[in-house]
Structure 1
Amino acid sequence: MQSLFQIIMLLLDVLWFFIIAHVIMSWLINFQVLNTSQQLVAQIWYMLNRILEPIYAPVRRIMPQLGGIDLAPLAVLLGVAVLRIVLVNNYALFV
């Protein structure tokens, strides 16, 4: 069971990294530091969107519209952090 705990924690870490990379990349694209007409940038952006949009979509339906500000990544990051805390505090169930 400890292996299951470690796998879940690893997946949460990867999700955390993808969300941070997506947020930073969106800022760089919006400030025109990165250009999506470059093939590598476009492929990475497309991959991150394909991975994260199914996670963001339910959160966006629940959260109120704030104009041009998207707080879905922040809400998902908070959810991941809460899930990690709950899992760590209940580690005894996995041993």
Structure 2
Amino acid sequence: MHAILAAAIEVVILALNLYWYVVLAAVVVSWLVAFGIVNTYNSTVRTLLTVLSRLTEPVLRPLRRVLPDLGSVDLSPIVLWLVLYFLIRVLEQLRFSIAF
């Protein structure tokens, strides 16, 4: 039973790590668009923006409501990264305590 629970926790950790990189990709692509390096008239870029937005906005939107408005600076991805980091570390400790 412990092995199954440890494996399930490992899958959740993997998903959270993957989501961390999805948020990073969304931030980088939004910067590339904001600085005019990539053009949103390109269908591939537009599709990538749409996919990343649909994956990240449901989590970032509530954070933006709570965080103060700093103009063009969006702190919500940083807060989300900190939350993900904390969750991953807690789950790793839990997995370690279950395994031994």
Q: Does the pair score TM above 0.5?
A: yes
Query: For each residue in 1:28-76, what CA deviation from the matched residue of structure 2 results, as whole angstroms up to 9, or x when unmatched?
Result: 1111111111000000100000111000011111111111111111110
**SS of 1:33 mapped into structure 2:** coil
Q: Which residue of 2 aligns with 1:23?
A: 27
| Identical columns (%) | 31
**SS of 1:90 mapped into structure 2:** helix
Query: How far apart are residue 91 of structure 1 and its match?
Result: 1.8
Distance 2:97 2:65 in 1: 33
Answering whether residue 82 of structure 2 is matched by residue 81 of structure 1, we say: no
- Equivalent residue pairs, number: 95
**Moved runs in structure 1, 4+ residues, more than 6 A?**
none
RMSD: 1.1
Larger CA Rg, structure 1 vs 2? 2
Structure 1: gaps spanning 5 or more residues: none
> TM-score scaled to structure 2, two decimals?
0.89
Structure 2: gaps spanning 5 or more residues: none
Q: Which residue of 1 aligns with 2:60?
A: 56
> TM-score scaled to structure 1, two decimals?
0.93
